[in-house]
């Protein structure tokens, strides 16, 4: 059964969701990141997905206090992304309670550094965050596009122990119009040794069921929960 990983995106210590990664299209929610993490933990999820959007924009973590508060409040795995661009930033995130680091811009722009981190911390703690528009990788909080494809990235890091990839289809993110199932099905079939996490576009349980039927292993759900399209009871059913 596919694993649901609830998302908490953070700006200024508050829960937000963007549309297509656009900071100008930001919606702030009343629930605190700690309260949301507690609610997810109560559902029995094994992991939560936390993104420091301030950190992604400034290329350095900005919400580590929130990460620490969540780590102290819940006993589940925390995958953390946003601003992890140096050895110090990565170790600070781990020290604050992150179980895994999601590496996006560094993996695209400084592949040797990400390769070093994979070799030092292992594939169980290092996640490639590949955020794509038309299969091309975007960096720096999705503000800049590159000529790299997600296939280029996976091929480049497989021999270094890469085993986890979060692929976000930016065109789908926050749109609540369904995920790009074909993309993820193709990637998972091409790289069976890698766990691909679907990210972007989840609108309802039918989307998750469709991904599950195609053999996808993990899916991030964010806005659909905040907008009450997927209930915590639904999440709980997939966490038993």
Options 54, 131, 169, 207, the catalytic residue: 131
**d(C-alpha 31, C-alpha 173), whole Å:** 21
Tell me, yes or no, if 9 is annotated catalytic.
yes
pLDDT attached to residue 141: 64
pTM of the model: 0.93
Give how many domains the chain has, as a whole number: 1
pLDDT in tens, 98-119: 999 999 989 999 999 999 999 9
**d(C-alpha 158, C-alpha 40), whole Å:** 32
Residue 194 is part of which domain span?
3-237
Alpha-carbon distances of 167 from 33, 38, 200, 237, rounded to whole Å = 23, 25, 8, 24
CATH number of domain containing 215: 3.20.20.70
Q: Are 202 and 177 in contact (CB under 8 A)?
A: no
pLDDT attached to residue 128: 98
pLDDT in tens, 33-87: 999 999 999 999 999 999 999 998 888 999 999 999 999 999 999 999 999 999 9
pLDDT in tens, 26-38: 788 878 999 999 9
Tell me, yes or no, if 173 is annotated catalytic.
no
């Amino acid at each position: 059964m596919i694993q649901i990983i609830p998302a908490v995106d953070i700006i200024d210590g508050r829960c937000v969701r963007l549309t297509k990664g656009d900071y100008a299209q930001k919606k702030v929610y009343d629930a605190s990141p700690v309260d949301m993490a507690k609610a997810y933990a109560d559902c029995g999820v094994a992991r939560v997905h936390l993104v420091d959007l301030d950190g992604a924009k400034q290329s350095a973590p900005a919400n580590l206090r929130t990460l620490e508060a969540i780590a102290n409040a819940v006993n589940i795995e925390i995958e953390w992304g946003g601003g992890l661009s140096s050895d110090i930033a990565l170790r600070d995130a781990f020290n604050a309670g992150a179980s895994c680091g999601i590496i996006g811009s560094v993996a695209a722009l400084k592949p040797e550094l990400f390769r070093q981190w994979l070799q030092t911390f292992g594939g169980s703690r290092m996640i490639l965050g590949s955020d794509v528009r038309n299969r091309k990788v975007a960096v720096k909080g999705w503000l800049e596009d590159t000529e790299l494809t997600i296939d280029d990235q996976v091929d480049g890091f497989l021999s270094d122990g890469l085993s986890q990839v979060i692929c976000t289809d930016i065109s789908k993110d926050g749109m609540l119009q369904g995920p790009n199932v074909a993309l993820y099905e193709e990637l998972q079939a091409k790289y069976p040794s890698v766990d691909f996490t679907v990210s972007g576009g989840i609108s309802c349980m039918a989307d998750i069921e469709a991904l599950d039927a195609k053999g996808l292993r993990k899916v991030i759900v964010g806005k659909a929960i905040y907008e009450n399209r997927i209930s915590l009871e639904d999440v709980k059913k997939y966490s038993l």
